Structure 1
């Protein structure tokens, strides 16, 4: 099988492939856990908007509402923890252990720098106390903090960051992970449960034992199908894995014909993009035609959560979904979420509070057809929230 495609791939094809691969377009998947399976990990510090993003990737005939998504978290079908980078991600239970084993050492080194700058001292003893606090069942952050203070592990006047760092260390050491919310409350009221109570034994696709080299190969195998075309640096910055570790795994997958490497064209010239063989065959090999930016169809508007994988899965090539004439998303203030039209960011919006109308700020003047497309997206969000 060909392992390198000589013809270049431009931003229009890359954007269309990404819309399809990340699930923003296409028929959708059976349910939200299947979406997270397909994407491996979904950034989720803005939790309720992140769940909305999952819902949009489910087939319309079975698309879940907000209550169903929160139930999936409460039941442990989806888990939320700090993994890959020092930020929240949604993952499937079978992937939690190997992803944490792979990424925790680097995340903890980054956290150590923060702790030194804040002069937080040794937070190590706190992790055992966190584990003890959830030994008899899930506990909220408030309950865990009170337990740590009672044990003398945490000074009652300590800055909130000290407690947060203790919790993160306990997550990274695979002692705790997200638990069900208090009765009747959504998961913005974060709770924690014992890790082994929510995560199956073993290392998921790696088997019973963890192997670092195999984990990096698996990372490539799981990242690429859900991302379309991406560069090595896109994955490096998404997963915070070194180039030194990523290159051998990429070479092995390329030599085996599982992935192809394609030169960029146009504004992507000078870059090498990587895709699965199936993705390359589809978009470059005479399969389904790649739609152009102006194919005569009505525009489609997407209310993307601030950290949607269409935006966050790429760093080196994120610009393919940005309009160079507009300011990039800055996630400043309340308007942290992005409005995209035909896959290109054209505005920003804030999550509605209560029954208030959705507040959208266009970054340019929309056409009447684009306003109509936004109305459709807003109606879909209303249905989800209700």
Structure 2
């Protein structure tokens, strides 16, 4: 369907359409299907990323997401913006080919300050690959010790920047969880990229950007081209060219005279009324529903932004979403059998009785997920 006519909608409708496109109203069939359909999912906090997947895959548990990392059907790396995401392994190499050069240039000053040279990168690449090749992998601390023994300092974030560079160049990638029995929610082992991901898709730059944009708009639409340019770090001129290549597959919506793009399948929900008006969700911190866009005001009133990101410190709290709008935060309390969930609505009178009951169902769903 070509975007022959502009459709005007309200911000609240945009939020509910995004719930639908992100799989938060219906869901995806598996962990791999979820990550594939989303294109990439925020994963700087691994436990939050697990629950982000869990909310989109009905009936799944923590063990299902851990298993996907353990067997390599999903990987966690820095494909864009210097931020960790979950992606499909077969897509990681071509995404890095599109995004790495620009982000490396943006980090050049920091790397000079840390005294990281091309010779250092080459030396650390040799050391790391010698350690992990043909093995189950190595922890960050193990690699740091190897670097230090060869005269490569790792303090003051120099070590993590070196590992980041090796991953950006597709020499290393994060593999299975590093904890005993693979049940840790923290670190992962670093493994050799070519061994962990033996087969990668090959896309040229223009083809890759067009596919990435279409995947993003399918899973995040309605969204703007600026949203995608920010999300990926791809220059706007290239984003606009990719948009022209796929425009016939999109529908245009207008909100406050700004063009938003989505697929005809998502736009079709407008015909009979967009679902989700009474849907209440307990989303993790760093969820794509909020962080997948440069302009977050459509789903989070600016007056409440500080309550989600206290002090603007970059740490996003867990979010309560009602009818496509963020209306509060929530926190986990206790551990084990005493674990619970506490709601923190933005407004003084709190959630309505119906919304409170829905949230309690969500809380129980979260606790079951973490136990599976």
User: TM-score by structure 2 length?
Assistant: 0.89
| SS of equivalent to 1:70 | helix
Offset at residue 58 of structure 1 (A): 1.1
Q: What is the CA–CA distance in structure 1 between the aligned matches of 2:264 and 2:24, rounded to whole Å?
A: 21
The 1:292–1:35 alpha-carbon spacing in structure 2 relative to 1, beyond 3 Å, is closer
Q: What is the CA–CA distance in structure 2 between the aligned matches of 1:193 and 1:331, rounded to whole Å?
A: 36
Matches within 5 A, 1:78-93: 78-93=74-89
| SS of equivalent to 1:90 | strand
Residue 283, structure 1, aligned to residue 261, structure 2: no
Deviation digits for residues 12-64 of structure 1 (CA, Å, limit 9, x no counterpart): 321111000101112x22111110010010010110121111011113xxx22
Give structure 2 stretches of 5+ with no counterpart: none
Offset at residue 144 of structure 1 (A): 1.0
| SS of equivalent to 2:56 | coil
Matches within 5 A, 1:1-386: 1-26=1-26, 28-59=27-58, 63-116=59-112, 118-122=113-117, 123-125=120-122, 126-137=124-135, 138-152=137-151, 154-155=152-153, 158-182=154-178, 183-184=180-181, 185-203=183-201, 207=202, 210-254=203-247, 257-262=248-253, 264=254, 268-280=255-267, 282-284=268-270, 286=271, 288-291=272-275, 293=277, 299-316=278-295, 318-328=296-306, 329-330=308-309, 336-352=317-333, 354-355=335-336, 356-364=339-347, 365-366=349-350, 367-386=352-371
Kindly indicate whether the alpha-carbon contact (under 8 Å) linking 2:173 and 2:190 is maintained by their aligned counterparts in 1.
Answer: yes
Deviation digits for residues 223-265 of structure 1 (CA, Å, limit 9, x no counterpart): 11111211010101111111111111111212xx212333x2x
| SS of equivalent to 1:376 | helix
Offset at residue 320 of structure 1 (A): 1.6
Deviation digits for residues 164-194 of structure 1 (CA, Å, limit 9, x no counterpart): 0001001000011111234424241221111
The 1:127–1:352 alpha-carbon spacing in structure 2 relative to 1, beyond 3 Å, is farther
Q: What is the CA–CA distance in structure 1 between the aligned matches of 2:298 and 2:188, rounded to whole Å?
A: 35
Q: What is the CA–CA distance in structure 2 between the aligned matches of 1:175 and 1:292, rounded to whole Å?
A: 43
Kindly indicate whether the alpha-carbon contact (under 8 Å) linking 1:75 and 1:180 is maintained by their aligned counterparts in 2.
Answer: yes
Kindly indicate whether the alpha-carbon contact (under 8 Å) linking 1:306 and 1:331 is maintained by their aligned counterparts in 2.
Answer: no
The 1:351–1:199 alpha-carbon spacing in structure 2 relative to 1, beyond 3 Å, is farther
Q: What is the CA–CA distance in structure 2 between the aligned matches of 1:177 and 1:45, rounded to whole Å?
A: 15
Kindly indicate whether the alpha-carbon contact (under 8 Å) linking 2:328 and 2:345 is maintained by their aligned counterparts in 1.
Answer: yes
Worse-superposed segment, 120-129 or 139-148 = 120-129
Q: What is the CA–CA distance in structure 1 between the aligned matches of 2:165 and 2:109, rounded to whole Å?
A: 13
Offset at residue 325 of structure 1 (A): 4.9
Length, aligned pairs only: 358
Q: What is the CA–CA distance in structure 1 between the aligned matches of 2:102 and 2:146, rounded to whole Å?
A: 29
| SS of equivalent to 2:80 | coil
Calculate the aligned-residue CA RMSD, in Å: 2.2
Q: What is the CA–CA distance in structure 2 between the aligned matches of 1:331 and 1:51, rounded to whole Å?
A: 23
Give structure 1 stretches of 5+ with no counterpart: 294-298
